[in-house]
Amino acid sequence: LPKVDIKGVSKTYPGDRQAVQALQTVNLSIKTGEFVSIVGPSGCGKSTLLYVVGGFLPAAGEVLVDGKAIAGPGIDRGVVFQEYALFPWLTVRNNILYGLERGGLPADERARITDRLIGVIGLNGFEDRYPRELSGGMKQRVAIARTLACDPSILLLDEPFGALDAQTREVMQDELLRIWLETRKTVLMITHDVSEAVYLSNRICVMSARPGKIVEEFTIDLDRTIP
């Protein structure tokens, strides 16, 4: 049974003058623990596909998770959006804690997880800052930590390292690789960076635009070790 099964997904946006077919019958089956990257030119439908799988956007066709059709967003799928989507009225610590509040964990356990993640993203000393006080890269790292805090079995990542400088990007790529190897999470990641896709994924899907579809797939047969 695939972890995520995308079956014949099509999506048309009603444009101002003419409709835009963002996705045309996309099929993609992802096994448990697989790391799939999606690459392709701007506008080929990568974000649309991710939002459909996240359950944020209705579309034709079907998305199954563990064999069951999704009916909206769910805690099984953690999403890191391109535009961070942090709560501006919450500090770094409380943004990360937010997702844990509903998990039923004791407060000291939630605090422990949050402190560990703040260390992972290299923001020790910034716990009490607000998003407006952070650089773009720092906000992106908080968004990643907030999603990881909820421990979803599926990670949906939209250019998660796009706003980072080269050095921080390498640190965060290795952190994601470590998390993936240790937890066998299923990952679907959009990236513009083909070398990043090769470094991290089992499989790379190439999309093309007008209409958006998967036109090529590569398997990366590498035995990765924890960095």
Where does this chain bind ligand ADP (CB under 6 A)?
13, 15, 20, 22, 40, 42-48, 133-138, 163-165, 168, 212
Could you tell me the CA-to-CA distances from 140 to 115, 123, 135, 190 in Å, in that order? 17, 11, 9, 15
If the CB atoms of residues 112 and 210 are measured against ligand ADP, the closer one turns out to be: 210
**Contact between 200 and 169 (Cβ < 8 Å):** no
CB of 89 to ligand ADP, least distance (A): 17
Q: Which is nearer to ligand ADP, 55 or 212 (CB)?
A: 212
Other C-beta atoms lying within 10 Å of the C-beta of residue 193: 16
**Toward ligand ADP, which CB reaches closer, 30 or 207?**
207
Number of residue whose CB is nearest ligand ADP: 137
Smallest separation (angstroms) from ligand ADP to the CB of 137: 2
List of residues 6+ apart from 167 with CB closer than 8 A = none
Neighbour count for residue 75 (Cβ, 10 Å):
12
Report the nearest approach of ligand ADP to the CB of residue 132 (Å). 8
- Shortest distance (Å) from residue 92 CB to ligand ADP: 11
The alpha carbon of residue 123 and the mean position of all alpha carbons in its chain are separated, in whole angstroms, by 20
Query: Quick check: helix, strand or coil at residue 168?
Result: helix
Q: Considering the complex, state which of residue 59 and residue 97 has its C-beta at the smaller distance from ligand ADP.
A: 59
Q: How far is the CB of 180 from ligand ADP (least distance, A)?
A: 22
